[in-house]
A and B are shown apart, each in its own frame.
Chain A
């Protein structure tokens, strides 16, 4: 069984290698090879899952040591895998959703001449993401972490002939670098504190750390949070996710909704033992999550680009997960549960958006949609189920996972609990509003599309089966996953041995939270219907309020970055350059000039007249004699 873990990573890696180096002769069946290898990975994951289910709960962790990567004295970086319940959950999500999106891409990318390369990148992503979640130490996790960053960069910029896509890829890469610095510093701190970065050494050591190490652990916690912020697009490193929508839609679904952006949640949950003893870091995590869940939701309300609206929603939902992960043992399980259900419904929503764009000549402006439910019935139904799941319609998966997080937020206790719970509830209301808005603008109302620049009128049509089947499967997941997980608290028992779990002491009963959530949900839906359902949607965006205009510009995050970081950076560089020119160069040039000047004067002594040399000799002798006499006199 242990060898299968290695194969799990090796299959997509092989696909990436073959597809990216094979050249044009693979064009005809490259996409099939890539999809096949993703499916192989998925089947291996299922086999391992079945094997894991057959064992008792405490005996489920499989480890597999492959080789020593960097053997230097006490610095021993191992390549080894650890498959426990947490990794298993991710493996099934990544390979499952990944395989579906491979299948979808066969249809979606059909007319793209670089389809083979696209599948190579997708396979590379799968391999890196699996490496990330299967690594048994932080060093190898870091390798996977960078690998997914690379794959994300390559795929966002897949249409790099568009300047906007190339810029977006660069932006995503640069913002992620800031987070990556956090992870590398965290690893260095771990190594200096514990002498190792294997999960098996660091996490128990963190649990048993004495008071003197708590400051270091808080530092590690903050650095891990920085890493999570970068990868998971949390405030303040969130600005890249909206632009990342420049990539092909399957990429947005797989990487920027279902899997890669949730790596931050994985990192925090995996490092739970560290955060449990670092309450300050935990508070920071909760704060970041709460701010982001509102931030993303507000941005999602104002966007007219369907993918950007969904990107705001992704940010907001990951905010929920980060918040839950920051709550400690009362939240870890629910963070991961929401992550999985979100993987289903958000991937489904993105694929639905891709299907709409496919039928509408790649139009992304929702103000140019309208009434599409008649033209795309399957897309409408699957998107609709994803919509009901994300707003938390009772019985669907989002209802189970999000309600649990809101409950856990209240259970944090005290004023903090009320604030967090209130924000989470408000987030649920805004989620209902913006998702209803997307739904109404896209599928209901009058048709608003126009001829494009070349005079073609779009003919909305249902997408081919390769695209609709994954959407149907994901819709099933969106509907049933939550109930399946929540039955008898199955998911809690499944993850408890890894993450630990404790029931919070909620001031509100479960029934009260559910009722409250339903009320705000209905309010959100009703408000959206009043604004976008009851009266026709203008095809050109109205000016809107100050908040709307700010939200359209991503709540001024780019402006903030520009003013504070870009301008600030420019000023800093300019003053450093000035310092360099005046101070550093001044010292260097000044030394050189004074030595030059002095030697110019000294040179005059070398005048070529023998008698002047004789004078200096005589003078020197006189000095020596005088000194000798003087010494003798003393």
Chain B
């Protein structure tokens, strides 16, 4: 099968994720979209690894997973504490940084 198809899929997934981050307001959904983008990247890495015949991409994919796991821990903790203080998981409500 043509490996380029995997790259199209990765690009599609990344676009869906990016659109979700930009459009959705629910912090959990935004978060899931971020994960989707990360995994789209992972897919691209692995595909390139296969295409070039070395393991660099696969190694990077593992790194990404580790970083994503850590990010999930921190991110979810933040979302939960914001939800506790503001009774909302909408990202638009957390706008205290606005002038």
Contacts and interface: CB of A to CB of B under 8 A. Distances in A.
Contacts of A607: 95, 98
Interface of A: 603, 606-611, 614-615, 618
Contact of A608 (B21, B30, B98): B98
Contacts of A609: 91-92, 95
Contacts of B98: 606-608
Contacts of B25: 611
20 contacts: A603-B99, A606-B98, A606-B99, A607-B95, A607-B98, A608-B95, A608-B97, A608-B98, A609-B92, A609-B95, A610-B30, A610-B91, A610-B92, A611-B22, A611-B25, A611-B91, A614-B21, A615-B22, A618-B18, A618-B22
A611 B33 CA distance: 12
User: Which are the 6 A-B pairs with shortest beta-carbon distances?
Assistant: A608-B98, A608-B95, A610-B91, A611-B22, A606-B99, A614-B21
Interface string B8-29: 0000000000100111010000
A23 B92 CA distance: 84
B1 interface: no
Would you call the interface of chain A mostly helix, strand, loop, or mixed?
helix
A610 B78 CA distance: 14
Contacts of A614: 21-22
Contacts of B92: 609-611
A614 to B, nearest CB: 6
A608 B95 CA distance: 5
B76 interface: no
Q: Which residue of B22, B23, B25 has the most chain A CB atoms within 10 A of its CB atom?
A: B22
A607 B91 CA distance: 13
Given A608-B95, A610-B91, A611-B25, 7 more contacts: A606-B97, A607-B95, A608-B96, A608-B98, A611-B91, A614-B21, A618-B18
A615 B97 CA distance: 17
A618 B20 CA distance: 13
Contacts of B91: 609-611
B55 interface: no
A611 B99 contact: no
Interface string B75-99: 0000000000000000110111111
Contacts of A606: 97-99
Contact of B94 (A603, A610, A615): A610
Interface residues of B, number: 14
Among A603, A608, A615, the one with the most B-chain Cβ atoms within 10 Å of its Cβ is: A608
A607 B18 CA distance: 20
Contacts of B23: 611
Contacts of A603: 99
A614 B24 CA distance: 12
Nearest to A611: B22
A83 to B, nearest CB: 80
A608 B96 CA distance: 7
A607 B99 CA distance: 7
A503 to B, nearest CB: 93
Nearest to B23: A611
A609 B99 CA distance: 12
A615 B18 CA distance: 9
Interface string B29-43: 010000000000000
A607 B97 CA distance: 8
Nearest to A612: B22
Nearest to A615: B22
Contacts of B94: 610
A606 B30 CA distance: 20
A2 to B, nearest CB: 81
Nearest to B94: A610
B35 to A, nearest CB: 15
B31 to A, nearest CB: 11
B76 to A, nearest CB: 16
A607 B25 CA distance: 15
A617 to B, nearest CB: 10
Nearest to A607: B98
Contacts of B95: 607-609
Residue in B21, B23, B94 with the greatest tally of chain A CB atoms within 10 Å: B21
Contacts of A618: 18, 22
Nearest to B97: A608
B22 to A, nearest CB: 5
A270 B98 CA distance: 80
Contacts of A615: 22
Interface string B58-75: 000000000000000000
Nearest to A610: B91
A610 B96 CA distance: 11
A614 B18 CA distance: 9
A603 B96 CA distance: 15
A607 B92 CA distance: 10
A308 B75 CA distance: 99
Contact of A611 (B21, B96, B97): B21
Nearest to B99: A606
